Amino acid sequence: MTGKLFFQATLKFTAGLLLFGILLFVPAGTVRYPNGWLLIAVLFVPMFIAGTVMVFRNPALLEKRLRAKEEETEQKAVVALSGLMFLGAFVAAGLSFRFQWFLLPDWAVVTGTVIFLLAYAAYAEVLRENAFLSRTIEVQENQKVIDTGLYGVVRHPMYMTTLFLFPSMGIILGSLLSFAILLLYIPIIAKRIQNEEKVLEKGLEDYTAYKAKVKYRLIPFIW
Protein backbone atom coordinates (compact mmCIF):
# COMPACT_ATOMS: atom_id res chain seq x y z
CA MET A 1 0.00 0.00 0.00
CA THR A 2 2.71 2.48 0.99
CA GLY A 3 4.86 1.55 -2.01
CA LYS A 4 1.95 1.95 -4.44
CA LEU A 5 0.97 5.27 -2.91
CA PHE A 6 4.56 6.51 -3.06
CA PHE A 7 4.71 5.55 -6.74
CA GLN A 8 1.46 7.40 -7.50
CA ALA A 9 2.61 10.48 -5.60
CA THR A 10 6.02 10.43 -7.33
CA LEU A 11 4.38 10.08 -10.74
CA LYS A 12 2.06 13.04 -10.14
CA PHE A 13 4.91 15.08 -8.67
CA THR A 14 7.13 14.42 -11.69
CA ALA A 15 4.32 15.15 -14.15
CA GLY A 16 3.55 18.41 -12.36
CA LEU A 17 7.21 19.43 -12.39
CA LEU A 18 7.51 18.74 -16.11
CA LEU A 19 4.29 20.62 -16.86
CA PHE A 20 5.51 23.62 -14.87
CA GLY A 21 8.76 23.61 -16.79
CA ILE A 22 7.00 23.48 -20.16
CA LEU A 23 4.54 26.25 -19.30
CA LEU A 24 7.25 28.56 -17.96
CA PHE A 25 10.36 27.95 -20.03
CA VAL A 26 8.90 27.35 -23.48
CA PRO A 27 7.13 30.76 -23.56
CA ALA A 28 10.26 32.33 -22.03
CA GLY A 29 12.27 30.90 -24.92
CA THR A 30 15.03 29.82 -22.53
CA VAL A 31 15.69 27.82 -19.39
CA ARG A 32 17.66 30.82 -18.11
CA TYR A 33 14.61 32.25 -16.41
CA PRO A 34 15.68 32.73 -12.76
CA ASN A 35 12.20 33.55 -11.48
CA GLY A 36 10.86 30.35 -12.99
CA TRP A 37 13.47 28.28 -11.17
CA LEU A 38 12.76 30.21 -7.97
CA LEU A 39 9.06 29.33 -8.11
CA ILE A 40 9.83 25.69 -8.85
CA ALA A 41 12.18 25.57 -5.85
CA VAL A 42 9.83 27.15 -3.30
CA LEU A 43 6.85 25.13 -4.57
CA PHE A 44 8.19 21.68 -5.33
CA VAL A 45 10.87 21.20 -2.65
CA PRO A 46 8.41 21.65 0.27
CA MET A 47 5.82 19.65 -1.68
CA PHE A 48 8.23 16.73 -2.02
CA ILE A 49 9.13 16.85 1.66
CA ALA A 50 5.48 17.03 2.76
CA GLY A 51 4.47 14.21 0.42
CA THR A 52 7.25 11.96 1.68
CA VAL A 53 6.27 12.62 5.29
CA MET A 54 2.61 11.84 4.54
CA VAL A 55 3.51 8.56 2.82
CA PHE A 56 4.91 7.23 6.08
CA ARG A 57 2.94 9.15 8.72
CA ASN A 58 -0.47 9.76 7.17
CA PRO A 59 -0.93 7.85 3.91
CA ALA A 60 -4.73 8.19 4.09
CA LEU A 61 -4.45 11.98 3.92
CA LEU A 62 -2.00 11.79 1.01
CA GLU A 63 -4.38 9.49 -0.84
CA LYS A 64 -7.17 12.04 -0.42
CA ARG A 65 -4.93 14.85 -1.62
CA LEU A 66 -4.05 12.86 -4.75
CA ARG A 67 -7.71 12.23 -5.59
CA ALA A 68 -8.77 15.02 -7.93
CA LYS A 69 -11.91 13.84 -9.76
CA GLU A 70 -14.87 16.01 -8.78
CA GLU A 71 -18.40 14.61 -8.64
CA GLU A 72 -20.18 17.95 -8.15
CA THR A 73 -21.09 19.58 -11.49
CA GLU A 74 -20.39 23.10 -10.22
CA GLN A 75 -16.99 22.05 -8.94
CA LYS A 76 -16.01 20.60 -12.31
CA ALA A 77 -16.52 24.07 -13.79
CA VAL A 78 -14.47 25.62 -10.97
CA VAL A 79 -11.61 23.17 -11.58
CA ALA A 80 -11.69 23.90 -15.32
CA LEU A 81 -11.59 27.66 -14.74
CA SER A 82 -8.73 27.26 -12.25
CA GLY A 83 -6.77 25.25 -14.80
CA LEU A 84 -7.25 27.91 -17.46
CA MET A 85 -6.21 30.59 -14.96
CA PHE A 86 -2.94 28.84 -14.12
CA LEU A 87 -2.26 28.08 -17.78
CA GLY A 88 -2.70 31.73 -18.70
CA ALA A 89 -0.69 32.99 -15.73
CA PHE A 90 2.36 30.78 -16.33
CA VAL A 91 2.45 31.33 -20.08
CA ALA A 92 2.06 35.08 -19.49
CA ALA A 93 4.97 35.02 -17.03
CA GLY A 94 7.24 33.28 -19.53
CA LEU A 95 6.28 35.70 -22.30
CA SER A 96 6.74 38.66 -19.96
CA PHE A 97 10.30 37.55 -19.24
CA ARG A 98 10.99 36.93 -22.93
CA PHE A 99 9.70 40.28 -24.13
CA GLN A 100 10.31 42.28 -20.92
CA TRP A 101 6.63 43.09 -20.35
CA PHE A 102 5.59 44.67 -17.03
CA LEU A 103 8.41 43.12 -15.00
CA LEU A 104 8.41 43.50 -11.23
CA PRO A 105 11.44 44.78 -9.27
CA ASP A 106 13.63 42.45 -7.19
CA TRP A 107 12.25 43.74 -3.89
CA ALA A 108 8.74 42.73 -4.99
CA VAL A 109 9.97 39.24 -5.92
CA VAL A 110 11.60 38.83 -2.50
CA THR A 111 8.42 40.04 -0.77
CA GLY A 112 6.29 37.66 -2.83
CA THR A 113 8.60 34.76 -1.96
CA VAL A 114 8.31 35.49 1.78
CA ILE A 115 4.51 35.72 1.53
CA PHE A 116 4.40 32.45 -0.41
CA LEU A 117 6.52 30.57 2.15
CA LEU A 118 4.50 31.89 5.10
CA ALA A 119 1.27 30.91 3.37
CA TYR A 120 2.75 27.48 2.58
CA ALA A 121 3.56 27.00 6.27
CA ALA A 122 -0.03 27.93 7.18
CA TYR A 123 -1.26 25.48 4.53
CA ALA A 124 0.80 22.71 6.15
CA GLU A 125 -0.73 23.58 9.53
CA VAL A 126 -4.22 23.22 8.05
CA LEU A 127 -3.28 19.79 6.72
CA ARG A 128 -2.08 18.84 10.20
CA GLU A 129 -5.31 20.04 11.83
CA ASN A 130 -7.75 18.36 9.47
CA ALA A 131 -7.21 14.74 8.47
CA PHE A 132 -10.37 14.83 6.33
CA LEU A 133 -9.02 17.33 3.81
CA SER A 134 -9.60 16.17 0.26
CA ARG A 135 -9.01 17.90 -3.06
CA THR A 136 -12.59 17.06 -4.04
CA ILE A 137 -15.84 18.25 -2.47
CA GLU A 138 -17.28 15.32 -0.54
CA VAL A 139 -18.46 14.21 2.89
CA GLN A 140 -16.35 11.26 4.03
CA GLU A 141 -17.24 8.34 6.26
CA ASN A 142 -16.93 9.26 9.96
CA GLN A 143 -16.05 12.83 9.05
CA LYS A 144 -16.50 15.36 11.82
CA VAL A 145 -16.44 19.14 12.06
CA ILE A 146 -13.05 20.64 12.93
CA ASP A 147 -13.44 23.88 14.89
CA THR A 148 -10.02 24.36 16.50
CA GLY A 149 -6.89 26.21 15.40
CA LEU A 150 -7.36 28.11 12.16
CA TYR A 151 -10.78 26.49 11.80
CA GLY A 152 -11.84 28.57 14.79
CA VAL A 153 -10.99 31.73 12.85
CA VAL A 154 -12.48 31.04 9.41
CA ARG A 155 -14.46 28.11 8.06
CA HIS A 156 -12.13 27.50 5.11
CA PRO A 157 -8.55 28.15 6.27
CA MET A 158 -7.05 26.06 3.47
CA TYR A 159 -8.63 28.36 0.89
CA MET A 160 -7.57 31.36 2.95
CA THR A 161 -3.93 30.30 2.61
CA THR A 162 -4.32 29.80 -1.14
CA LEU A 163 -5.51 33.41 -1.45
CA PHE A 164 -1.92 34.32 -0.61
CA LEU A 165 -0.21 31.35 -2.23
CA PHE A 166 -1.54 31.63 -5.75
CA PRO A 167 -1.32 35.39 -6.45
CA SER A 168 2.15 35.47 -4.90
CA MET A 169 3.26 33.01 -7.59
CA GLY A 170 2.88 35.77 -10.14
CA ILE A 171 5.01 38.06 -8.00
CA ILE A 172 7.71 35.40 -7.62
CA LEU A 173 7.71 35.02 -11.40
CA GLY A 174 8.35 38.76 -11.64
CA SER A 175 5.34 39.33 -13.85
CA LEU A 176 2.66 41.93 -13.15
CA LEU A 177 0.55 40.40 -15.93
CA SER A 178 0.75 36.94 -14.34
CA PHE A 179 -0.16 38.40 -10.94
CA ALA A 180 -3.22 40.12 -12.45
CA ILE A 181 -4.40 36.86 -14.04
CA LEU A 182 -3.99 34.97 -10.75
CA LEU A 183 -6.24 37.49 -8.99
CA LEU A 184 -9.08 35.80 -10.89
CA TYR A 185 -8.71 33.11 -8.24
CA ILE A 186 -10.75 35.28 -5.85
CA PRO A 187 -14.12 34.92 -7.64
CA ILE A 188 -13.30 31.31 -8.55
CA ILE A 189 -12.72 30.27 -4.93
CA ALA A 190 -15.79 32.21 -3.77
CA LYS A 191 -17.87 30.11 -6.16
CA ARG A 192 -16.26 26.89 -4.92
CA ILE A 193 -16.92 27.75 -1.29
CA GLN A 194 -20.59 28.53 -1.85
CA ASN A 195 -21.19 25.13 -3.41
CA GLU A 196 -19.00 23.32 -0.87
CA GLU A 197 -20.96 24.71 2.05
CA LYS A 198 -24.23 23.46 0.54
CA VAL A 199 -22.73 19.97 0.32
CA LEU A 200 -21.40 20.09 3.89
CA GLU A 201 -24.67 21.43 5.34
CA LYS A 202 -26.53 18.59 3.71
CA GLY A 203 -24.17 15.75 4.59
CA LEU A 204 -22.13 16.72 7.65
CA GLU A 205 -23.70 16.71 11.08
CA ASP A 206 -23.16 19.87 13.17
CA TYR A 207 -21.92 21.91 10.20
CA THR A 208 -24.85 24.33 10.49
CA ALA A 209 -23.99 24.89 14.16
CA TYR A 210 -20.34 25.38 13.18
CA LYS A 211 -21.38 28.08 10.69
CA ALA A 212 -23.18 29.91 13.48
CA LYS A 213 -20.10 29.66 15.70
CA VAL A 214 -17.51 30.67 13.07
CA LYS A 215 -19.15 33.42 11.05
CA TYR A 216 -16.47 34.15 8.45
CA ARG A 217 -15.85 31.89 5.47
CA LEU A 218 -12.52 33.12 4.22
CA ILE A 219 -11.36 36.50 5.52
CA PRO A 220 -11.95 37.53 9.17
CA PHE A 221 -14.35 40.48 9.55
CA ILE A 222 -14.87 40.69 5.78
CA TRP A 223 -16.38 37.50 4.31
What's the CATH code of the domain at 111? 1.20.120.1630
Asked, for residue 172, whether it belongs to a domain, the answer is: yes
Q: Given pLDDT bands bounded at 50, 70 and 90, which one contains residue 99?
A: very high
For the stretch 103-143, pLDDT in tens is 999 999 999 999 999 999 998 888 777 766 655 555 555 56
pLDDT of residue 146: 79
Q: Quick check: 32 pLDDT over 90?
A: yes
Q: Given pLDDT bands bounded at 50, 70 and 90, which one contains residue 87?
A: very high
pLDDT of residue 65: 64
Q: Given pLDDT bands bounded at 50, 70 and 90, which one contains residue 72?
A: low
pLDDT of residue 135: 55
pLDDT of residue 144: 76
Give the residue from 186, 184, 171 showing the smallest Cα distance to 219.
186
Give the residue from 82, 102, 87, 110 showing the smallest Cα distance to 168.
110
Output the average pLDDT for the chain.
85
Mean pLDDT of all residues in 51-79: 69
Q: Enter the pTM of the model.
A: 0.86
Q: Quick check: 12 pLDDT over 80?
A: yes
CB 127 within 8 A of CB 60: no
Asked, for residue 222, whether it belongs to a domain, the answer is: no
d(CA 9, CA 222): 37
List the single range of 35-39, 136-140, 215-219 with lowest mean pLDDT.
136-140
Asked, for residue 52, whether it belongs to a domain, the answer is: yes
pLDDT of residue 66: 63
pLDDT of residue 136: 53
Choose between 50 and 209: higher pLDDT: 209
Q: Quick check: 69 pLDDT over 80?
A: no
66's CB contacts (< 8 A; 6+ apart) are 5, 8, 9, 12, 135
Choose between 172 and 81: higher pLDDT: 172
Query: What is the extent of the structural domain holding 106?
Result: 2-213
Asked, for residue 220, whether it belongs to a domain, the answer is: no
Q: Given pLDDT bands bounded at 50, 70 and 90, which one contains residue 5?
A: low
pLDDT of residue 128: 78
Choose between 140 and 83: higher pLDDT: 83
Asked, for residue 223, whether it belongs to a domain, the answer is: no
pLDDT of residue 93: 98
| The total number of structural domains that make up the chain | 1
Asked, for residue 113, whether it belongs to a domain, the answer is: yes
Asked, for residue 221, whether it belongs to a domain, the answer is: no
Asked, for residue 218, whether it belongs to a domain, the answer is: no
